[in-house]
Structure 1
């Protein structure tokens, strides 16, 4: 059995699918397909048991020529390496991996929908046209799929309602999971230290986070509001010069990008993600695993991570006033931090353990047995 896992970035394959690759490599030949791996990333994938195969995949952008090249490159790889099973995740790997699989007749194609993304958000004429195009491409890519795996029920229902994929091909898992041995509980910071880790995108709720921080700091100047994350080339991307203005105003602290979120989570007391939409937010799961209270939005993906009032709070998306209200609540109820943090850790153990999630994915793909699970 020859298996290919397609992601946009090598680092994503390592961080999000590393455990799955390692399990599959115990019995099958595993090929990791992504774009632009450096030597260190190739070595890491090799240590997991996978052979890295380079393919020009853009995570963002609307260049049809580059997308056609991506599709043809994946087709060529599937053909040359005689791939039996293809598993793809995120938008472009799913679309072009699915279409490529159909072109060359790969036996089994599976997709993981990690979120609906910018293209599914309502807006003006241009965004609505993009929405229609992406839905059409998904229909073409998933028509012959053996299974489509979703990370929350809301996203799954959208695909069913839009007739992108029939219900009998849909499966549900609890996100990408989190390795509880890697993200261990650490003591809470004694001061009100809020943290948001995200790519610099408007629909991550970063601007609302900054606005709320400015308001809260007027009453509680000792509160810290930290932002961690890289720039993003998406049309929704936030430029660094805007971030630098926020820092200069004293609203937030910006700590740049990171390959290891653990030190930042260790330093915070409350984890915040005011996102507009998610599949299942990985950084929230990591913060839960490390015993942090959560403040996030009542939207698909995020709402699955919080029992309101128990391990954190849910607020309406794009609602600065509610963010401020709950941030103030956290500052004024410090005795609840450890209670909520403990509940977060318990939930991470019960629902989001990566080993449980990978076992479910293997079962969906018909590859589970006593050795792999």
Structure 2
């Protein structure tokens, strides 16, 4: 029997790789999967890795109306030719391009996953434009999947679409977490010691780690400032033996950090910025706790990844984060943009060993029981089969 076609769309190939790693290959056992994204070279690599066909449509994460319209029509003609059963988009720009093109092409099932709302941090005319685009995306979709219950509530509060069109799949998350890959047992003491030595981190140092884009919206200004203040505390051996590890790239064109933050990163001898890493697991393996003070999220993979690696987490009390982390069980929650609260929690992790160890004890089990990847994939497949 010939398989029906499933089109999966993201704005950039990195999202296909990092947000949906392994899922396209899994779905290809049931559907003829075609991955659509920008950056043809990067997209071809993902297609080869996942074992699926690809189609290149140039898209930008910026507001580019003329280019976006061209992308809609290029995708429209592709969909008219392919006649897929479903088009499933992720990320904001791929959402509006994919859902509009699919609606125009008469695709019967138009699915959009919401994994975050960048527009929540914008104001003025830009916010009005983005609100309109969001509503148009949802209106063009036949089903909208917020990847957290908190995000679902925000969508309803902002009247982006009718509640009847919304559904959170499984326990949340777009892809779950492969707990056999994110497992601290895979990294020996010798491997960890070698990386610590490479980064000039002492075996007895307490390492706070952040993984993600080094941008304002991820709370990096507050994190670096809080850590700088923490390190300036005099006469505290626990504080003097802590490090901050930043794993990720800067985005100076879209969401730059404050000049003083960049200066602190470069001049504080206890901060290690290692740039983007294809495999973040070794860095999580040598860390003691994740610090993730983001302003907004959908359902952050890195919090699940860190938890699976046995790390307690300090996260902001925002949707997604506050569903993965339960206060005082596998981590702790702080208010958004609250540098004082962040400083206090980091100090608590350093000074209250019993509290830290209690959180650490529950960290991995909380993830494996609720967010194992196969659970999420099977739930998405069940949703497809209903259609």
TM-score under structure 1 length normalisation: 0.90
When the two chains are superposed, the root-mean-square deviation of aligned CA atoms in Å is 2.2
CA distance 1:322–1:241, shift in 2 (3 Å)? closer
Give the match for residue 85 of structure 1: 86
Distance across 2 between alignment mates of 1:2 and 1:73: 18
Deviation for aligned residue 1:251: 5.6
Give the match for residue 293 of structure 2: 274
Bigger shift: 354-363 or 210-219? 354-363
SS at match of 1:280: coil
Query: How do residues 196-215 of structure 1 correspond to structure 2 at under 5 angstroms?
Result: 196-215=210-229
Query: How do residues 112-191 of structure 1 correspond to structure 2 at under 5 angstroms?
Result: 112-117=113-118, 119-121=119-121, 127-173=123-169, 174-176=172-174, 177-186=176-185, 190-191=204-205
Distance across 2 between alignment mates of 1:229 and 1:30: 30
After superposition, the C-alpha distances for 1:301-345 in whole angstroms (9 at most, x for unaligned) are 211121111111111111111111111111112344443223111
Deviation for aligned residue 1:135: 2.0
Distance across 2 between alignment mates of 1:9 and 1:239: 26
SS at match of 1:172: coil
Alignment counterpart, residue 42 of structure 1, candidates 19, 41, 44: 44
Q: Does 1:224 align with 2:238?
A: no
- Report the count of equivalent residues: 361
After superposition, the C-alpha distances for 1:202-225 in whole angstroms (9 at most, x for unaligned) are 010000000111111122222101
Bigger shift: 220-229 or 249-258? 249-258
Do the aligned residues in 2 keep the contact of 1:204 with 1:273 (CA within 8 Å)? Answer: yes
After superposition, the C-alpha distances for 1:250-297 in whole angstroms (9 at most, x for unaligned) are 362211111111011011101010011100111111000111010111
Distance across 1 between alignment mates of 2:164 and 2:385: 15
Alignment counterpart, residue 33 of structure 1, candidates 36, 46, 51: 36
Give the match for residue 55 of structure 1: 57
SS at match of 1:148: strand
SS at match of 1:224: strand
SS at match of 1:53: strand
SS at match of 1:142: helix
CA distance 1:262–1:240, shift in 2 (3 Å)? farther
CA distance 1:224–1:237, shift in 2 (3 Å)? same
SS at match of 1:341: helix
Deviation for aligned residue 1:28: 1.5
Do the aligned residues in 2 keep the contact of 1:200 with 1:239 (CA within 8 Å)? Answer: no
Deviation for aligned residue 1:244: 5.2
Deviation for aligned residue 1:73: 2.1
TM-score under structure 2 length normalisation: 0.87
Query: How do residues 312-323 of structure 1 correspond to structure 2 at under 5 angstroms?
Result: 312-323=331-342
Distance across 2 between alignment mates of 1:279 and 1:230: 20
Distance across 1 between alignment mates of 2:130 and 2:253: 15
Do the aligned residues in 2 keep the contact of 1:191 with 1:269 (CA within 8 Å)? Answer: no
Give the match for residue 349 of structure 2: 330
Gaps of 5+ in 1: 369-373
Deviation for aligned residue 1:234: 5.5
Do the aligned residues in 2 keep the contact of 1:213 with 1:251 (CA within 8 Å)? Answer: no
SS at match of 1:105: coil
Query: How do residues 74-113 of structure 1 correspond to structure 2 at under 5 angstroms?
Result: 74-113=75-114
